[in-house]
Structure formats: C-alpha cells, structure tokens
Structure 1
Amino acid sequence: MSVLTVDLTIQLETALRIGAGGSAGTLANTSIVRDGWGRPIIPGSQVKGKLRCAAEQLLRGVGHAVPFPNDLDTGSLIQDLFGSATRRAALRFADLPSTLVDAPQAPEFQRRLTQIRPSVSINRRRGTAEDARLLYQEVAHEGMAFQHQRAIIGAFDEVAAVRRSAALLAAAIQLTDRWGGAKSRGLGWARADVRLWVDDTPLPLADLADDLRAVLTAGGLR
C-alpha cells in the first residue's frame, strides 16, 4: 500500500474571510474561523470542497460527465478521492492554520492576525446602498500564508492509482485561486504552492503530466 501526502501552502494576495457563523469576542457582525490556539484557519472541509469542485470543473471542461455526490458507485476517480453517499473517500483533509505566528504565541497576537472591514449591502434594483445594512466583517490580512505539511493524506493499493490521484489533485489545486467568502468584493484571491510525496519520496509535479493526460482521456474513470 502506498501513501500520498500533500504539503499545501495558500498564500493570500487579498484579504480572506471564512466566517465562523458568529461574532463572539469581536466588534464584527461575522467573525473569522479560528483553531483552538486562536489562529485563523482555512478549514479542511473547505479545502476538500474547493478541490472537488475544481477537479469536476476540469473533467467537465474536456467534455466528460461528472457524478453527483449522491450517485451510486460509477467507477469515477472523483468518487474514489472525495467520496460519495455509498463510498468512503480515500483522502483525508486537515485544516490549514496561519503561519504568521507559532501556535503557543497565537493567543498573545490574536487581535493582530485579523482586521475589521466595513461593508454595505447594495440594492440591485436601485443600485444604491440599502438602509440599515452597514456590516463589519473580520478578515485575515492579505499577504498571510496558511500551510500544513500533511494537508491531504490518502492510502492506495496500487502505484498507478497514486499517480493518477496525485495528478488530478495537483491540477485541481493549481486551478483554485479563490478561497473563502465575499469573492464579489475582491476577497479571497490567493496562490497555492503544493508539494507531493509518495511513501516519503518526493513526487515532482513535472512528472505527472502523462498521468493527468491519462485521467482526462479516460474521462476521470479509475
């Protein structure tokens, strides 16, 4: 059995907002999601959802059908990697914490890791600001990085399956340049740096071109 490990770094080019669904402890209407140390994070659930969407977009772009999450097993590599209603996903996704400070120092610098931004709701019909809709949103600073050395891990029975999976996953990561919410307001632009290992042996991205071509030619089937 071979183990695929993905070291993923997301470098922000604009501020990032991933709401935690509340505003406890801040002046913002919506606060940013944090880990137990108080560091802003990109949740593993968002990493999984974004990469699944990008992988499906890649396959649709070359004319192949993509199964829905609730479809039965169709032999799709998408279902193998990300799971379905009847199939456990081969990949496990970790949260990506901010790398600006070490975890033990995060409580001391917690308020400096984010900023509060005002925004307004626009009436689409009138094209003017809505009354009583001034909002304050907590965001992570542009230029911050979010990283985890074992952001994605998966175990596979065959070496060929590892390479096909790594090729599709790496392509999906490189296609994803927007993270978080409020994208229409210019938030969430970022670039990704990815490094791959198979059983602790580096797997260069340049070596996966033929494997990605094979995945796309086969229509994303395993």
Structure 2
Amino acid sequence: MIFSKRIMSAEFIERPNRFQAYVYINGKKEMVHVPNTGRCKEILLPGTKVLLREENNPNRKTRFDLIAGYKDKKLINIDSQIPNKVVEEALRARKIDQLKKYTNIEREKTFGNSRFDFKLTDKNDNKYYLEVKGVTFENDGITMFPDAPTERGKKHLLELVQVIKEGYGAGVLFLIQMDNVNKFMPYDNMDKAFSDALRLAAQNNVDIFAYDCSVGRNFITMKNKVQVELS
C-alpha cells in the first residue's frame, strides 16, 4: 500500500507514555502521537531518525503520527493500524498460497463471543478465521512477538483453537513490518503465556504464518514468507 498523506523525517527525543512522543522537526521540539502500544525500545532511541505521517485533523492534539523508525539502516514500520490493511491487500491479490481459495474477504467478524480480524469464505461456503499480529521486534535477523505482555493476544489464540474444534479453518498471521529477516519466533522471555498459547494453537491445527514486508518512506507491502520456529 502507498501512503497518500505527507511523510516527514524527524529526530526522536523521548516517549513519555505509550501514546505520545517528542521529536525534533526542523530543529523544533514537537509532541506527536505513537500509534503503537508496544515498547519499541530498540527502535525509539534518542537521536534516531523517524518518519511522521501528517494528519491535519483539527480535533487532534498532535499534527503527526510517528509511523516508522530506523534501526541502523533498517526501516521498521511501527504503525499498529497498518498490518490489517497490508494483509487485506495481500489476500485480495492472492499472495498467501494457503488462503488463495478464499474469495470472500470480510473484516472484523465475530465468531461466538470473539471478534477476529478476517473472516474468509470460499465458493463452497467453507469458512476460515484469521487473526493478524504486527511484529516490530528484531535482533540479528530474528523477529519475535510480542514485545510487551499481551493477555488479549493469548485470548485470541485460544479462541482460534475453539474455531478449529467447531469445524472451521483458523490461522494467525504475523506481519513483520520490515524486510530482510531470517525467521520468526515467539518471545518467551517477554510473555511465556502467549508463547505457550501459540504452541498449543499450532498443535491444534491453527495455521501459523509469518511474512516480512517491503518498507519504504511512503509505502509498505507484504513480501516473503518467513520461517516460523516454535520450539
């Protein structure tokens, strides 16, 4: 997908809370919104070059969203609203081999008491529920999720197991918001309960996908399937 709004460069200063950060824009300090509740500590370091998306909404307290940052030379998108949009684009373009047969794509659909990111249906009315998680943590080519404890994430995985038990297809797709990575793993040291739930989901035939992205100043798109290592 290509970003239609103006993108600007800035220098990161600090992040006093999950939703706000301070940056230098052309030498002037300004508060911006951070659309990611994860920690992103290895990306958002003082002096780091970051990218801002101009919002120009008179009802907002801030003019910009902080959507990406450079870790060394690697550009990492951190906008938590992006993964579902990128995955929807990929689903409609039939870029995910195991899901090509599903031609009806619906967003934010419920199953029982649960709501999943996508409900997919094929021409024979077979249904598949897909949850998407954005990944921003990387170390030496290894990407991991989550970068902060997530009870909600564990709940989604256990609900996908229930989908399988009721006779439907189910999967979780980890969209790695950067390129040139080697593999994906659950982040045991950050959230062991989530990691164990992911392994349980895999044991119950929930599909586990990971894909990296081509990321540029004004675009992001799904790129390559990435090896998933659960052990």
Q: What TM-score, normalized to structure 2?
A: 0.31
Larger radius of gyration: 1
- Higher RCO (CA-CA < 8 Å; seq separation 6+): 1
Q: What TM-score, normalized to structure 1?
A: 0.32
Higher percent of residues as strand:
2
Higher percent of residues as helix:
1
